Chain A
């Protein structure tokens, strides 16, 4: 009985080592993967901002029509740009 338990304990100890190593290894690799995803997303920005840009340029004449002067629009968008860059 006793030696049997000893061999089981040894096996459990091995499981402890191997298990924790694999968990850490796997999740560390996942950290790398998340960082790659984040890097790629930053490198190739989503299409959405582009369409916003287009919408902004195409909509600026209409805002002019609605009575907002072009310099004001330019000033606001410059401020927004600056805010986005800072945050």
Chain B
């Protein structure tokens, strides 16, 4: 009989807590979203699986000495994984649309209103009983509005590690939902005539400009915002490797093998933070709600800025491209293109939207640097 009790005690069945079961269900939901709905599968699949692994009783994946504990410790607590991903993203980014029309940077800047507006909103949520967000928590939540996974994980790991799981899941889920969240806002804020506007073709950008650009961005970040240099520095390194054309092997590795390897571990590590005591809280609901608001505000601010810019500009600007300012490369630009084509099947806005889109990446990295400098 003793032996039977011992055997029973060594099974998970005897040790399951209700929270762990619920979190495993959340992990399965993420797997479902990734596999069936194809929502950001590259991240949601490892995150969902990580959530299942970390909630297995007795296995101790996330206890000191466990696999996920080390992956998290090595990659996220140190900030290394999001930065390596950012290098890969840099190596995949083509700035020519932005260099050809640099004013698009203003659209990328305006969309960051989503971040700072949500920061305000997160603090205002403290007026509701049950919420107690500190300024650090609020900043980490607000960065979801930057619509940039690595930036959100980097900032959350520095400012509010205990909220990281919820923030990362919210950020990636909403990035997958960009085609659903953005179009209604875009249609609401623009008239049919505005959506019809055709933009002048972009000039050809020389190779030398593309090589100098990342260096110029880095120099300005060094001078004015050193707290953003980890993000911008790695991003510029990746971009320079691509544009210089002399280290194709490194550039290819950064945008393929390396980013893929890191993505697996990043997903698992984020999943390991989806434990019941940290995720099944009222705060998670607040974070999910605030994330949606952040995306919406960012989209709206970008469109309104594009409208304002169009009024003062000699060249016509289609206000739809402002929506791409929220980064989420290249999904947001594709959404702009799609909404533009609905109004006029001959109006291709994809290249024009890539400008604000990559500007949004820079903008959210700058915003993250500001939050690190002022709140961190």
Which residues of A come within 8 Å of B, CB atoms?
2, 5, 8-9, 11-13, 15-16, 18-20, 22-24, 26-31, 33-35, 37-38, 41, 46
Segment with Cβ contacts to A, from B61-69, B111-119, B312-320, B341-349: B111-119
With contacts defined as CB atoms under 8 Å apart, how many contacts are there between chain A and chain B in the complex? 110
B106 within 8 A of A: yes
Question: Which residue of A27, A37, A38, A41 contacts B363 across the interface (Cβ within 8 Å)?
Answer: A27
Q: Contact: B362 with A27, CB < 8 Å?
A: yes
* Chain B residues, CB < 8 A from A30: 102, 105, 216-217, 220, 362
How far, in whole Å, are A43 and B79 apart by their CA atoms in the complex?
Answer: 42
Which residues of B come within 8 Å of A, CB atoms?
98-99, 102-103, 105-106, 108-109, 112-113, 115-117, 119-120, 122-124, 126-127, 135, 138-139, 206-209, 212-213, 216-217, 220, 224-225, 359, 362-363, 366-367, 370-371, 374-375
Are A27 and B138 CB-contacts (below 8 A) given A16-B120, A18-B374, A46-B207? no
* Chain B residues, CB < 8 A from A19: 112, 115-116, 119, 367, 370-371, 374
How far, in whole Å, are A27 and B98 apart by their CA atoms in the complex?
Answer: 12
Are A27 and B106 CB-contacts (below 8 A) given A12-B123, A15-B116, A15-B119? yes
Question: Which residue of B103, B135, B216 contacts A11 across the interface (Cβ within 8 Å)?
Answer: B135
Q: A30-B220, A38-B99 are in contact. List 14 more A-B contacts (CB 8 A).
A: A8-B126, A9-B124, A12-B123, A12-B138, A15-B116, A15-B375, A19-B116, A19-B371, A24-B106, A26-B220, A26-B225, A26-B366, A28-B105, A33-B220
Q: Contact: B119 with A46, CB < 8 Å?
A: no
* Chain B residues, CB < 8 A from A9: 120, 123-124
Question: Which residue of B99, B102, B224 contacts A26 across the interface (Cβ within 8 Å)?
Answer: B224
How far, in whole Å, are A16 and B301 apart by their CA atoms in the complex?
Answer: 14
* Chain A residues, CB < 8 A from B105: 27-28, 30-31, 34
Are A15 and B109 CB-contacts (below 8 A) given A9-B124, A23-B363, A34-B102? no
* Chain B residues, CB < 8 A from A27: 105-106, 108-109, 359, 362-363, 366
How far, in whole Å, are A34 and B215 apart by their CA atoms in the complex?
Answer: 11
* Chain B residues, CB < 8 A from A20: 109, 112-113, 116
A interface, over-half SS? helix
Q: How far does the Cβ of B106 sit from chain A's closest Cβ, in whole Å?
A: 7
Q: Contact: A31 with B103, CB < 8 Å?
A: yes
Are A12 and B119 CB-contacts (below 8 A) given A24-B106, A31-B105? yes
How far, in whole Å, are A11 and B123 apart by their CA atoms in the complex?
Answer: 9
Q: Contact: B208 with A46, CB < 8 Å?
A: yes
Q: How far does the Cβ of A86 sit from chain B's closest Cβ, in whole Å?
A: 14
Q: How far does the Cβ of A73 sit from chain B's closest Cβ, in whole Å?
A: 25
Which 4 residue pairs across A and B have the least CB separation, nearest first? A34-B102, A27-B105, A12-B123, A16-B116
Which residue of chain B has the shortest Cβ distance to A45 in the bound complex?
B206
Of B99, B123, B139, B362, chain A has the most CB atoms within 10 Å of the CB of B123
Q: Contact: A41 with B109, CB < 8 Å?
A: no
How far, in whole Å, are A11 and B138 apart by their CA atoms in the complex?
Answer: 11
Q: Contact: A12 with B120, CB < 8 Å?
A: yes
Question: Which residue of A5, A18, A31, A41 contacts B206 across the interface (Cβ within 8 Å)?
Answer: A41
